[in-house]
Amino acid sequence: MEQTQTKRIVLGITGGIAAYKAAELARLLVKQGISVQVAMTEAACHFITPATMQALTGRPVLVDQWDAADNGMAHIAASRVAEAIVIAPATADFIAKLAHGLADDLLSTMCLARDCPLLVAPAMNKQMWANAATQRNVRQLIADGVQVLGPDSGVQACGEEGMGRMLEAEQLVKDIMDFLRNGKSAGTVSPIPDISVRAHEKEPSQPQTRKLSGKKILITAGPTYEAIDTVRGITNRSSGKMGYAIAQAALEMGAQVTLISGPTAITKPQGAQAVDVQSAAQMFDAVKQHLAGCDIFISVAAVADYRVAHPSAQKIKKGSGNLTLELEPNPDILAYVANLPNPPFCVGFAAESENLAEYAEQKRRAKKLPLLVGNLVQQAIGSDDNELVLFDDSGRQTLPRADKLTLARLLMQRIAQRKKGALQ
């Protein structure tokens, strides 16, 4: 068992269907030697009973702010002896309350009166999560130093699929234990630390610090175009916006950027060395040509997995029957670079239409990447904003919905942070 026996947290449960996962979370935390004081909103009691939570934690559950416990001072007392308050699940409504400092029940009052860090695990329908008001509130929490854990993407209780599922109990325990190890120590009361960087980094203000000064970054962006004949081809709907935004963010941080791009309609960031290509094979050649001395390789391009085996040198004329095209596989550029003997720090992208977490992590492992950035195609392709989920050895973190340049700056900060030691 870990050396955390003396540690205590307040587990706040708010009224969402994911409240059932809080029972498992409490059980696993207790198993880790954590003393768990549960506080529930009235709405949470419609989803799971205080009796269940009391049985799992061995402590009476706090619900009513007018309760005589602690001389009516439970909202103050509970956080004074806690290492942290963890709200799991945190509904959209409760997040809104936290963002605005409302205190109209025991749990929200406790959060406002706390002198310890606050961690929240959002859980809600994907539209509620994507709603501008929720995103604004989440940003406010992050700016206030609150650590936001998740959410995850997947099938939701309502049957829809998307971002908003609460992280699984095992993942939350891992995050909380990491926090307890690295956050304030038992028995001390420290000011609320700026801990937002683990799950969400603060939105960087411009100008960015030139943390990547002198570093060489190679980026692929946009779609590829595989010719069928002289006038037709196979391509995809990637706009190149994300890759170009990343190039821009890297330039702002002082990096020397080479941007290898498939055909796009957007303007190249000033200061980048631009290399235009069409096909995956050309992109592969260009990457190999510019790889020498590269510190970081960021593969944002939507590279065609297949090309036409025998493209026609002349325009193919219409015939009367079916036309069959034979496709052959393209080289996997990112896998090639990541598996070189001394590879640069490789960052991959995964655009998925379903099962984001599962597929993205599979890709990361298959290509041996230290960092993979996932997003849902429905939310990303062609759009001006996006939501990213970062997958690395320590788990996953969400960068909440924002315009692509804001996300690119957050991502580049994250990459610079991870590579700091190795690049110095």
Minimal distance, residue 287 CB to ligand CTP, in Å: 8
For residues 103, 166, 200, 193, the Cα torsion angle rounded to the nearest 10 degrees is 50
Six token digits for residue 378:
């429905």
Minimal distance, residue 416 CB to ligand CTP, in Å: 19
CB-based contacts of 136, cutoff 8 Å, min separation 6: 99
Known catalytic residue at 158: yes
Q: Cβ closer to ligand CTP: 37 or 220?
A: 220
Which residue do the tokens 């959002």 mark? 122
Q: For binding to ligand CTP (CB under 6 A), which residues are involved? A: 220, 280, 299, 301, 303, 305, 330, 332-334, 348-351, 363
Q: What value does the CA radius of gyration of the chain take, rounded to a whole number of Å?
A: 25
Minimal distance, residue 225 CB to ligand CTP, in Å: 14
Minimal distance, residue 369 CB to ligand CTP, in Å: 8
Return the closest-CA partner of residue 279 out of 318, 252, 309.
309
Return the closest-CA partner of residue 218 out of 177, 251, 259, 189.
259
Q: Cβ closer to ligand CTP: 116 or 333?
A: 333
Question: d(Cα 383, Cα 50) in Å, to the nearest integer?
Answer: 44
Q: ∠ CA 389-395-399 to the nearest 5 degrees?
A: 25
Minimal distance, residue 366 CB to ligand CTP, in Å: 7
Minimal distance, residue 116 CB to ligand CTP, in Å: 40
Q: ∠ CA 341-342-346 to the nearest 5 degrees?
A: 110
Residue 223 DSSP symbol: B
Minimal distance, residue 349 CB to ligand CTP, in Å: 4
Residue 418 and residue 345 in contact, taking contact as beta carbons nearer than 8 Å: yes
Residue 218 and residue 296 in contact, taking contact as beta carbons nearer than 8 Å: yes
CB-based contacts of 51, cutoff 8 Å, min separation 6: none
Question: d(Cα 239, Cα 386) in Å, to the nearest integer?
Answer: 13
Return the closest-CA partner of residue 67 out of 56, 78, 57.
78
Phi, psi of 278 (to 5 degrees): -115, -65
Q: Backbone dihedral region of 15: left (phi > 0), alpha (psi from -120 to 50 degrees) or beta?
A: beta
Q: Cβ closer to ligand CTP: 258 or 299?
A: 299
Minimal distance, residue 166 CB to ligand CTP, in Å: 26
- Of 45, 111, 116, 158, the active-site residue reads 158
Q: Cβ closer to ligand CTP: 212 or 300?
A: 300
Task: State the DSSP H helix or E strand holding residue 306, giving kind and residue range, or none if neither.
Answer: strand 306-308
**Taking the CB of residue 335, how many other CB atoms lie within 10 A of it?**
16
- DSSP bridge pairs for 258: 218, 273
Return the closest-CA partner of residue 400 out of 95, 177, 170, 112.
95
Catalytic positions are: 158
